[in-house]
Structure 1
Amino acid sequence: MAQSRFSAYISAMITEVGHFALILAFLVAIVQMIVPLIGAHKRWTGWMAVAEPAAGAQFALTALAFGALMWAFVVSDFSLRLVWLNSHSAKPMLYKISGTWGNHEGSMLLWVLIVTLFGATAAWFGGGLPPTLRARVLSVQSAIAVAFFAFILFTSNPFLRLDTPPFDGQDLNPLLQDPGLAFHPPFLYLGYVGLSMAFSFAVAALIEGRVDAAWGRWVRPWTLAAWVFLTIGIALGSWWAYYELGWGGFWFWDPVENASFMPWLLAAALLHSAIVVEKRESLKSWTILLAILAFGFSLIGTFIVRSGLLTSVHAFANDPERGVFILMIMGFFMGGALVLFTLRAGAMEAKGVFGLQSRESALVVNNLLLAVSCFVVFVGTMWPLVAEMFFDRKLSVGPPFFNAAFTPFMVALGLILPVGSVLPWKRASILRAMWPLRYVFLLALAVGGLAYAMQTGRGLIGPVGLFLGAWMVMGVIVELLQRTGRGGDRWGRLRRLPRADWGKAAAHAGLGVTMAGVAGLTAWTIDDIRVAQIDTPWQVGDYEFTLNDVREVRGPNYLSTMASVTLAKDGKKIADLQPEKRFYPVAQMPTTEAAIDYDLKRDVYVVIGDAQEGGGHTVRVYIKPLTNWIWIGSAMMALGGLLSLTDRRFRVGAGAAKRRRETVPAE
């Protein structure tokens, strides 16, 4: 008994220390927001120097607060209201830990932890930046942290206590008790919040009134890191939706899915636009605007997930008052940045000129396609809310709209990408650039034509997707071979290509693989639902299924109805599948656990339903071609981004900038 009281006392102390650390981090963030900004304006070296230690202290204090909250979840401290609402003593340890961010308050603390992490990283590794720009970047980054510290402490405090601690908790949402969802939010937040650095660089450059090639080089790694994390996070969420919801799909154009997809599109556009700023000192205004909008759409995503105005299967909160607070934060940062952009637009004169046929023009078209596709997703996501608020009409905008409106832009992007990648800078000839790609284009057409000839009574989406995938992947191969020139030792030169070139190749090829996977899955899925009897085989496509038995199984914190289904083809057994229907007694919530036989060419997906009065169980089967190409392509895109981040030229550029840095005298 004494040991139990001592443990409770220690846990309470750790929690209070975490709460105190969160308040201290808020105060440090206020100092970091104000002092270095004034120092940069006055050219006071000492005041600017405050930014670096403040950024480190702010991150350390926030990490301490987050660690204290995680400890409360790990030890099941139900005196903490948040733990009581989102945990249970019988829950597996992985989900106790992920429960820290599997709720509104904890996820917002993770959000601000990542804001401070990026700020601290910029302080630690930003030695190559001019002192004034560095101070302003860290001040703007801290201003974002101040806003969200205030939001947490005044509306979403995770450290609120209960007067009488209950014996046990109410458990985490069973849909979130899954490995995919355990890691999905942290990666998404690293992407969402990572775009805050691009925003901070943009606003700092606007304050200084200078955007040049060095700025483009500095902002690219931050944007690339955010884009990589977003790619991983979206892929994990898509994979989770595929196997966990039991609906047989990987993407539903859900508002929360769209909330992460829109910043991803704009971050991709920003990456390509920053290249033009770095290489040619053009598109400065557009690149600054993209940096503002990319983070702005991250804030819009935060608003969608937490305001309750748009419903979703995996929204965090349904509190309009909190939504208003986030809306005010978004209005302040977006409105202020856009006003500053308007005032400073004249100072961002483009230096480089380029012809209509050039790589710069191809990148402009790339940017327009990505930006317009983001706008299409935004309109489809927000239109139901607009219709209800202003026209008193309840509307539902679903996959048919998004598929019809979004797909043409992606098809156009896939068509131009291989050509744009091989165009020279400044001036080019499209016909000359296309000439080395002529055989690749014909081969890709043959792949699409073969797919069309082999299918029966279906549309063009599958063949077009395979054509685009083949066109983009083979276009990447041709581009790499062109980079090696002619003559001997081509393989040696290929191996010595910069990592950024290999990263670009992997990312572009990954996009092609993903497009082919999405198209194949969309066009050629076979769906069958029936009442299956024990030991009675049935046929779906080329496969034979047999329901062997259905039994009750007890899990660590759930009850399961588990089926055993044999999968065979041509009389040969392929796999034993065990789909489940789980029921979580504490949360009083059921979930569906699909059983999937994975293969590079197709997935066989089985879902068990309810028992029927006349005997047997409802069983739903999907045959889903090329599904795993989606995840393979996503992994290739993320790997491409990581390869580019390790390119030596980033480090050399940073060192050169550091050597050129002008020392600012103290006053």
Structure 2
Amino acid sequence: MITELGHFALILAFFIACLQAVVPLIGAHRRLAGWMAVAEPAASLQFILTATSFAALTYAFLYSDFSLRLVALNSHTAKPLLYKITGVWGNHEGSMLLWVLIVTLFGAMVAWFGGNLPPGLRARVLSVQAMIGAAFFAFILFTSNPFLRLEVPPFDGRDLNPLLQDPGLAFHPPFLYLGYVGLSMTFSFAVAALIEGRVDAAWGRWVRPYTLAAWIFLTIGIGLGSWWAYYELGWGGFWFWDPVENASFMPWLIAVALLHSSVVVEKRESLKSWTILLAIIAFGFSMVGAFITRSGVITSVHAFASDPERGVFLLGILAIFMLGGLTLFAARSGVMQSKGVFGLVSRESFLVVNNILLCVAAFVVFVGTIWPLVAELFFDRKLSVGPPFFNLAFTPFMVMLGLILPVGAMLPWKRARLGRAVKALRWPFALAISIGALAWAMQTGRSALGPVGLFMAAWLISGAAIDLWGRTGRGSDRLARLRRLPGADWGKAVAHGGFGVTIAGIAAMMAWEAEDIRVVQIGESVELAGYTITLDGVREVQGPNYLSTMGDVTLSRGGSVIGTMQPEKRIYPVAGMPTTEAALDNGLLRDIYVVIGDPQEGGGWAVRSYYKPLANWIWGGAILMALGGALSLTDRRYRVAAGARKTPRAGVPAE
């Protein structure tokens, strides 16, 4: 009964979305207040119905209702409670229901908190958001229905993919989808502004909180996915340039560019066309990610489905919204003329360079991701584009971005003197050079990657600190003024500093990682980067829904025991799939990473051990970047979107 209620709620939400997509849009065009007023209750009702449907599916997983095909394929009675819950979105159909739930959530947020928006703009935004919702409701109901019944329910389920039964990946998809789907709201604002024919400073301020929220969630989601890949897959890497990893990284890069360009629209009423275009492309990349993971065009541990029919449907949704948005953009380009004029040396110019670097970097990732598919389709050649290409082609743009970031943040709007900003940053530059030189002097026979990375990190972190301190003016009460600075200033400094922290972690791991791979006998020790790793024993352990071969490893240094580590190799009998559980000894400056393999014919066990310097700085930097975004959201100007409504230009109708 509950699952039927969920199915019915999903169908009803689809019809509400269709109604919301049409009625308020007509009302805004004809200035019918009653028709426009339909948008808010419809958005709220659409969210409530979708949440009801999602809750019904969750109930089915919690109580192991194997009469539902989805539950039978992705759950098991012996599975721990956490993974019964995460099994709801650990599959294609459930993840799409989560996707559309978030679409309706963002629409409801505009209905609940968009009181400062002009009625016409709000009605159009909610209508466009409902169009996106209706498209994905149709996709779910016609190709991916999560409420399909089995005529003969099995006694037990087939279990969830064991690789997905992990806390890091349990929370990774919801955060990632909040970011992916949150970019739909920037698309809706962009299309609504094009329909209305008005893009001004107030629009830049209204769209910024939703862009910030989406970027924060996307940052957390990517960080969690990277952390999961690091310790769960057993190869000790934090990023492999997997196509699905790239699918989330591309919209993240475009969202960063959008955040910076929207500041220029808000402050100077410049870059209007460019900002609207970025808002459209950002959501386009998020839909490209959905297509990549669900169409079967690639194979990945992250991919949900390999159904060509679903892929064609998603490709159709992508084509409709992108072609429609870009066509409207071309048709309305005349109403997006910039007002602000700025010099070659100004904050605006540096933000333009920032945007160019980010967009070119995203394009490089896109080409590397899609080129193997293009080569196979059009040239009948099987190619593999891996980390060497991405590292070589992508890294220079990030280095250039890191170099200009502190300088651009210090420059005033409209017109600036470069010498003044450079003078203020002389001590951060000297500190960065000193740290890079120290790293170079301490290493022997290594590449320049580590010293250059630490230089970049120190430059970004100290530059952000100087920029923040410089905003306190002069006098004896600078600390008091520092505490009173707007949340946006604090957020920018923390996010830029977090970017530097992540760069330090990546550079250190790639430059100074040490590894040892060998067969180790019971009681034998391995020396690694000054640490001693001793295999004390191996035992069989029964888990809640798996069998584990667990090693007992002692970690010591200089004769002093640091701790005990327990790497595992698990077998999940229901799924018939093995997984590797690395053992980690975490530290501020390093990780020791141990993986146990198979027993060997001559006795002993295959053991891989790694020394990973500054590993946790990668995810610490991601947390700081997300925290910086959250601090910016606390700025009242963005939180309530209290932008002054400008008088429209001649020839453009007012609301």
The C-alpha deviation readout for 1:290-313, integer Å capped at 9, x for no partner, is 000000000000000101101112
Name the CA distance, whole Å, in 1 between partners of 2:212 and 2:526.
49
The C-alpha deviation readout for 1:576-623, integer Å capped at 9, x for no partner, is 000000000000000000000000110000000000010000000010
- 1:227 corresponds to which residue? 215
In 2 relative to 1, CA 659–343 (structure 1 residues): closer, same or farther, beyond 3 Å?
A: closer
- 1:36 corresponds to which residue? 24
- 2:404 corresponds to which residue? 416
- Whether the 8 Å contact between 1:196 and 1:295 is mirrored in structure 2 is yes
Among residues 152, 163, 167, which one is paired with 1:164 in the alignment? 152
Name the CA distance, whole Å, in 1 between partners of 2:474 and 2:202.
33
Consecutive unaligned residues in structure 1, runs of 5 or more: 1-12
- Whether the 8 Å contact between 2:505 and 2:614 is mirrored in structure 1 is yes
Name the CA distance, whole Å, in 1 between partners of 2:93 and 2:334.
42
Which secondary structure state, in structure 1, belongs to the residue aligned with residue 332 of structure 2?
helix
- The one-letter code of the counterpart of 1:610 is D
- 1:488 corresponds to which residue? 476
Aligned residues, how many?
Answer: 650
- 2:117 corresponds to which residue? 129
- 2:498 corresponds to which residue? 510
- Whether the 8 Å contact between 2:209 and 2:639 is mirrored in structure 1 is no
Query: How far 1:36 sits from its partner (Å)?
Result: 0.3
Q: Which residues in structure 2 correspond to 1:354-373 (within 5 Å)?
A: 354-373=342-361
- Whether the 8 Å contact between 2:44 and 2:108 is mirrored in structure 1 is yes
Name the CA distance, whole Å, in 2 between partners of 1:458 and 1:425.
42
- Does residue 23 of the first structure (1) align with residue 11 of the second (2)? yes
Name the CA distance, whole Å, in 2 between partners of 1:124 and 1:338.
29
Query: How far 1:654 sits from its partner (Å)?
Result: 2.3
The C-alpha deviation readout for 1:497-527, integer Å capped at 9, x for no partner, is 1111111110000000001110101111101
Q: Which residues in structure 2 correspond to 1:338-487 (within 5 Å)?
A: 338-487=326-475
The C-alpha deviation readout for 1:509-567, integer Å capped at 9, x for no partner, is 00000011101011111011000011112211211111000000000000000000111
Name the CA distance, whole Å, in 1 between partners of 2:417 and 2:559.
57
Which secondary structure state, in structure 2, belongs to the residue aligned with residue 581 of structure 1?
strand
Q: Which residues in structure 2 correspond to 1:546-557 (within 5 Å)?
A: 546-557=534-545
- 1:571 corresponds to which residue? 559
Name the CA distance, whole Å, in 2 between partners of 1:657 and 1:339.
27
Which secondary structure state, in structure 2, belongs to the residue aligned with residue 538 of structure 1?
strand
Name the CA distance, whole Å, in 2 between partners of 1:601 and 1:655.
45
In 2 relative to 1, CA 70–651 (structure 1 residues): closer, same or farther, beyond 3 Å?
A: closer
Which secondary structure state, in structure 1, belongs to the residue aligned with residue 153 of structure 2?
coil
- 1:595 corresponds to which residue? 583
Name the CA distance, whole Å, in 2 between partners of 1:286 and 1:507.
23
The C-alpha deviation readout for 1:74-115, integer Å capped at 9, x for no partner, is 000000000000000000000000000000000000000000
- Whether the 8 Å contact between 2:209 and 2:641 is mirrored in structure 1 is no
Name the CA distance, whole Å, in 1 between partners of 2:353 and 2:4.
54
- 1:326 corresponds to which residue? 314
- Does residue 96 of the first structure (1) align with residue 90 of the second (2)? no
Name the CA distance, whole Å, in 1 between partners of 2:507 and 2:273.
36
Percent identity of the aligned residues? Answer: 74
Query: How far 1:650 sits from its partner (Å)?
Result: 2.4
- Does residue 499 of the first structure (1) align with residue 487 of the second (2)? yes
- 2:294 corresponds to which residue? 306
Among residues 260, 266, 270, which one is paired with 1:278 in the alignment? 266
- Does residue 197 of the first structure (1) align with residue 181 of the second (2)? no
Name the CA distance, whole Å, in 2 between partners of 1:656 and 1:280.
14
Among residues 595, 601, 615, which one is paired with 1:607 in the alignment? 595
Query: How far 1:39 sits from its partner (Å)?
Result: 0.4
Name the CA distance, whole Å, in 2 between partners of 1:456 and 1:356.
43
- 1:244 corresponds to which residue? 232
- The one-letter code of the counterpart of 2:360 is V
- Whether the 8 Å contact between 2:549 and 2:570 is mirrored in structure 1 is yes
Name the CA distance, whole Å, in 2 between partners of 1:233 and 1:114.
14
- 1:212 corresponds to which residue? 200
- Does residue 54 of the first structure (1) align with residue 37 of the second (2)? no
Name the CA distance, whole Å, in 2 between partners of 1:178 and 1:400.
29
Name the CA distance, whole Å, in 2 between partners of 1:17 and 1:509.
49
Name the CA distance, whole Å, in 1 between partners of 2:362 and 2:477.
44
- The one-letter code of the counterpart of 2:63 is V
- Whether the 8 Å contact between 2:200 and 2:646 is mirrored in structure 1 is no
Among residues 256, 259, 265, which one is paired with 2:253 in the alignment? 265
In 2 relative to 1, CA 65–652 (structure 1 residues): closer, same or farther, beyond 3 Å?
A: closer
- The one-letter code of the counterpart of 1:286 is W
Which secondary structure state, in structure 1, belongs to the residue aligned with residue 462 of structure 2?
helix
The C-alpha deviation readout for 1:426-458, integer Å capped at 9, x for no partner, is 001112211011121011011111111111111
Which secondary structure state, in structure 2, belongs to the residue aligned with residue 149 of structure 1?
helix
Name the CA distance, whole Å, in 2 between partners of 1:280 and 1:531.
64
The C-alpha deviation readout for 1:160-181, integer Å capped at 9, x for no partner, is 0000111000000000000001
Name the CA distance, whole Å, in 2 between partners of 1:70 and 1:553.
30
Name the CA distance, whole Å, in 1 between partners of 2:476 and 2:568.
59
- Whether the 8 Å contact between 1:127 and 1:658 is mirrored in structure 2 is no
- The one-letter code of the counterpart of 1:640 is G
RMSD in angstroms over aligned alpha carbons? 1.4
- Whether the 8 Å contact between 1:129 and 1:657 is mirrored in structure 2 is no
Name the CA distance, whole Å, in 1 between partners of 2:645 and 2:103.
25
Query: How far 1:651 sits from its partner (Å)?
Result: 4.6
Q: Which residues in structure 2 correspond to 1:291-302 (within 5 Å)?
A: 291-302=279-290
The C-alpha deviation readout for 1:320-376, integer Å capped at 9, x for no partner, is 111110000000000000000011111100000000000000000000010000000
Query: How far 1:659 sits from its partner (Å)?
Result: 13
